[in-house]
Amino acid sequence: MRKIIALLFIAVLLMDCSTVPITGRKRLNFVSDAQILPMSFQQYNGFLEENKSKIISNTSQARELKTIGKNIAAAVDRFMRANNMKAEADSYKWEFNLINDPTINAWCMPGGKVVFYTGIMPICANTNGIAAVMGHEVAHAFAKHGQERMSSAQIQQLGGVAVAVGTNNNKNAQLWNMAYGLGSTLGMLKFSRTHETEADKLGLVFMIMAGYKGEEAVNVWVRMSENAKKSGRQAPPEFLSTHPHNQTRIVDLRNYLPEAKRLAAKYNKQMAPPRK
């Protein structure tokens, strides 16, 4: 039984190892768009319905947010269609909404469903700052981080079953599950940090492709760090955090900026219509 479960576990790991475009990172993803997108769209619509009194639409800030979102989504769409990803490009149903909420947050669900909270707008501070956060969130959808997280959760559950079956008694199973639970949680946390770092890089490329200034991405995280200090928020140790430390992001973004500019120029040239 142990061998069977071990072989099953390995088979799942090898089941669908694809590559993230641009970064080249290998990812495990066996959750299809057909599985996740209907759920994503349903949950997004449910969120909007629950928060309809908080949706801001007829302000200059809300209009700017939508314009920036559409510009970055258009850059992503052009990239996908120029790189044999037409089916994926067609699957995105981009939508951008601003919610009246002081929480400093923004997110993008699979399929391109984006929400910004008003609380993050002072951190964005300007057009390029909004583009930096927008590029980061759109990158999560582009790289299919949601699908990858679901795949990892299923692997985690399968591993838990393997541990439970492979132990000799309930007491040992409980002990193993406690140890396994801690280990798997830490593994998933690192996985999430990997996504955040990748989204930082991809988002930087996408915002530059759309015509925005990538330098502002660094400034966004400088402001985020300053805000955290003013509010007295203390971040957990980085190895226990689902997001990289602000200072880590600042350094990484600054170091990656020249490469992001090079890639953006390369892809924009690749996607340019031929001269007549």
Quick one: angle between helices 145-166 and 127-142, nearest 10?
A: 50
Residue 266 CB coordination number (10 Å):
12
Query: How many C-alpha atoms does 170 have within 13 Å on its Cβ side?
Result: 0
What's the mean pLDDT in 93-100?
98
Under DSSP, the state recorded for 8 is H
Residue pair 193/242 in contact (Cβ under 8 Å)? The answer is yes
Q: What percent of the chain has pLDDT over 90?
A: 58
Asked if residue 61 has pLDDT above 90, the reply is: yes
Alpha carbons 213 and 211: distance in angstroms, whole number: 7
pLDDT of residue 186: 39
Spatial contact of 223 and 136, defined as CB atoms under 8 Å apart: no
In DSSP terms, 113 is beta-bridged to: 95, 109
pLDDT at 204 over 90: yes
pLDDT band at 30 (very low <50, low <70, confident <90, very high): confident
Q: What is the pLDDT of residue 174?
A: 44
pLDDT for the residue numbered 272: 67
The pTM of the full predicted model, rounded to 2 decimals, is 0.81
User: In angstroms, rounded to a whole number, what is the distance separating the alpha carbons of residues 70 and 100?
Assistant: 21
- What is the reported pLDDT for 161? 47
**What does the CA dihedral 255, 118, 111, 192 come to, rounded to 10 degrees?**
50
- pLDDT tens, position by position, 234-275: 664 444 455 678 888 999 999 999 999 999 999 999 876 655
Residue 207: the pLDDT is 99
Q: What angle do CA 81, 85, 91 make, to 5 degrees?
A: 95
Residue 183 above 50 pLDDT? Answer: no
pLDDT average, residue stretch 52-74: 98
pLDDT level of residue 156 (50, 70, 90 thresholds) = low
| Contact assessment for residue 200 and residue 208, using Cβ atoms and an 8 Å cutoff | no
Distance in angstroms (rounded) separating the CA atoms of residues 202 and 262: 13
CB atoms within 10 A of CB 274: 4
Enter the tokens of residue 117.
């909270």
State which of 14-18, 174-178, 268-272 shows the largest mean pLDDT: 268-272
Backbone region of residue 32 per phi and psi (left: phi > 0; alpha: psi in -120 to 50; beta: other values): beta
At residue 23's C-alpha, the angle toward residues 21 and 27, to 5°, is 70
For the four alpha carbons of 194, 200, 48 and 121, in that order, the dihedral sign comes to positive
Are the C-beta atoms of residues 241 and 235 closer than 8 Å to each other?
yes
How many whole angstroms from its chain centre is CA 9?
26
- Residue 155, pLDDT score: 66
| Helix, strand, or coil (residue 230) | helix
The pLDDT of residue 243 is 67
Higher pLDDT, 198 or 33: 198
DSSP H or E stretch at residue 156: helix 145-166
Nearest of 182, 179, 156 to residue 167 by alpha carbon: 179
Position with higher pLDDT, 156 vs 11:
156
Stretch 165-182: mean pLDDT: 42
Q: What is the structure's pLDDT at 213?
A: 98
Confidence at residue 114, expressed as pLDDT on a 0 to 100 scale: 97
DSSP at 212: -
Work out the mean pLDDT of the chain and round it to a whole number: 82
- What is residue 273's predicted lDDT score, i.e. its pLDDT? 62
